[in-house]
Chains A and B, each alone.
Chain A
Amino acid sequence: MFDLKDQGKPSTPGFSQIILLDERGNIVCSNDVLFDSSTLLNQSIFSYFPLLESVYKNLNILKNKKEVTLKRVETSFKDLPGFYDFTIRFTEFNGQVFLLWNIDDLTDLYSLFQKHQQSKNEIELSIENLKFLQDGAFEDYLEDKNKLLAILNTENFNYANQIQHALNYNQNAIEGFDFLITNLFKLDEDNQEHNALQDAIESFAEIIVELENLSAILKKKKTPAKSKNNIEKVFFEAIEKIESQHSKNLNVGMDLNIDVFSHSIDQPQFLTKLFETLIVNSYSDHFSSKIDLNIVAKSSKQISILVKKTFNLDQTNGLSPENIQLLSMEIYLRCSLLKELVKFYGGEIENPEGGSEHFSILINLPLQTNLGSSITDNS
């Protein structure tokens, strides 16, 4: 059996599982992010997922379509309760037929979506049922309910955007399949991991160089507006590069909400979110177990972020020494990225506890701001 461990990646806000099935519906390999597939070994998965059987029955159609995506799937499989998007792709290698099945867990978002859809439908039903009301009462009722529907529609739109956002991340897994399938049969696990880490390191190193260059440029610039634009531009480019790495299915621990960039860089919420994200991204690798952040406003011009990381070294067992070294380099470079960004804001990293995994960051806010209650304990 091939090992897909570490090929899956944490996505925003859920997780994805990748499963490779043979032509009889038996599992060839899986990264087991969402459920333990070993309990289903030597059994056709079709008996647990009739949907797959249904799709598989139409393999010839699927061959032409290449892939089919089914959104908001509810399964009856006990280990997979919730809402998932399934992407099923037909593939052939050395004359052998495979189904690549990607499961994106979007339970949280879709549960909210369901609640809103339920409210909408119930209102529509109540409108239909109350049409017999007389003397303008129905019109008044309708007006009230239509206002409520308009609000719900807006919220649904927002959920739809969030879901799309999450899917943009989750799509990475299925896109990574091409890479996976092409290389699965010719590369051993170490080579794959080595390449992925090497790629990530190069990317992060590029970002840091760019940030350092920008620091130098900014020192010579005196126009705040231009500086601000430059900062935003570089952040966008840096984040794009990180996302690009992420989209190659390289497990670099990203958990970034790009929406923060739609807000002004001057807003404290923006900074809080940005640093919260960067810290988690910088110090979170796919072997770490937990990152706790405690963000507090020290004054109207300064925020403090206390960072605690708990390691679980057991999970690095099985990695080759070379890959452990590469992993360490990757984490080091990501930490460097964080330090550069703190420097951008004239902040500093304090280390009162003396341990590298337990430190605090002081960040000076760029303009006069009115820190609200939104910046409190965020651990």
Chain B
Amino acid sequence: MISKKVILTGSFGVGKTSLFNQFIYSRFSDKYLTTIGVKVNKKTIEVNGREISLLVWDIAGEVSQDKVPTSYFLGASGIIYVFDLTRPSTYKNLEEDINYLKDMVKGGIIKVVGNKEDLVTEEQLEEVKKEISMPWDITTSAKTGKNVESLFQQLGAELLD
């Protein structure tokens, strides 16, 4: 079976661990607990009849991606860059961060995710779209689980291509 390393990254408090827990364990907690290092777990999903094992790395949030230890990126095939739809500070450096990540994981798949959809209205979401210089791939809610499975399915499909 194919297995691929995927990294969840982004600023602190954007919900990376919540997405990780929702995807791996199907659970969510409202309590915020800072991740200071790295947690890794594995989940096998089926994409178009093929199985792929995703080794997901949940790493400590950094305001700027160049502060993430480079050793974390070793052998990564996919990156999920998460920002918080309710906090402009978490997407103000989006383009810069994505360019940096592209350099770190050459040829890897990068998915940009706007999380905490449950906390914004349609109007607010439109405002965020205007503010952000580049489109993001998917809007999720780790709390309700909305689009979490879809996110990893999409990523898995692209990794299998």
Bound CA span A120–B61, Å: 13
Interface residues of A in 25-70 (CB under 8 A from B): 49-51, 53-55, 57-58, 61-62, 65, 68-70
Q: Nearest CB to that of B70 among chain A residues?
A: A68
Alpha-carbon distance between A124 and B55 when the two chains are bound, in angstroms: 31
Q: Which of B58-76 contact A (CB under 8 A)?
A: 60-61, 69, 71-72, 74-75
A residues less than 8 Å from B32 (CB atoms): 118, 121-122
Report the minimal beta-carbon distance from B12 to chain A, rounded to whole angstroms: 5
In the complex, which residues 62-114 of chain B have their Cβ closer than 8 Å to any Cβ of chain A?
69, 71-72, 74-75, 87, 89
Minimum CB distance partner of A54 in chain B: B55
A335 within 8 Å of B (CB atoms): no
Kindly state the separation between the CA atoms of A359 and B45 in the bound complex, as whole angstroms. Answer: 65
Pick the residue among B3, B5, B69 that contacts A71 (CB under 8 A): B69
- Interface presence of B144 (CB below 8 A): no
A288 to chain B, nearest CB (A): 33
Taking the closest CB of chain B, its distance from the CB of A186, in whole angstroms, is 32
A113 CB within 8 Å of chain B: yes
CB neighbors of B among A116-139 (8 A): 117-118, 121-122, 124-125, 128
**A57-B5, A76-B39, A76-B41 as given contacts; A125 in contact with B74, CB under 8 Å:** no
A72 interface residue, CB < 8 Å from B? yes
Interface: A73 (CB within 8 A): yes
In contact, A57 and B3 (Cβ under 8 angstroms)? yes
* A264 contacts chain B at the CB level, 8 A cutoff: no
Binary contact readout B27-41 vs A (1 if CB under 8 angstroms, 0 otherwise): 000001111111111
Q: Are B36 and A50 in contact (CB under 8 A)?
A: no
User: In the complex the two chains form, is A110's CB within 8 Å of B37's CB?
Assistant: yes
**Given the contacts A72-B60, A128-B89, A54 and B75 also touching, CB distance less than 8 Å:** yes
B81 CB to nearest chain A CB (Å) = 18
Known: A57-B3, A128-B89. A51 touches B40 (CB 8 A): yes
30 A-B pairs whose Cβ atoms sit less than 8 Å apart in the complex = A50-B40, A53-B3, A53-B55, A54-B40, A54-B55, A54-B75, A55-B75, A57-B5, A57-B75, A58-B74, A61-B74, A62-B74, A65-B74, A69-B71, A70-B69, A71-B37, A72-B37, A73-B37, A74-B37, A74-B38, A75-B39, A114-B36, A117-B34, A117-B36, A118-B33, A121-B13, A121-B34, A124-B12, A125-B13, A128-B87
Task: Tell me the A residues contacting B by CB distance below 8 Å.
Answer: 49-51, 53-55, 57-58, 61-62, 65, 68-76, 83, 110, 113-114, 117-118, 121-122, 124-125, 128
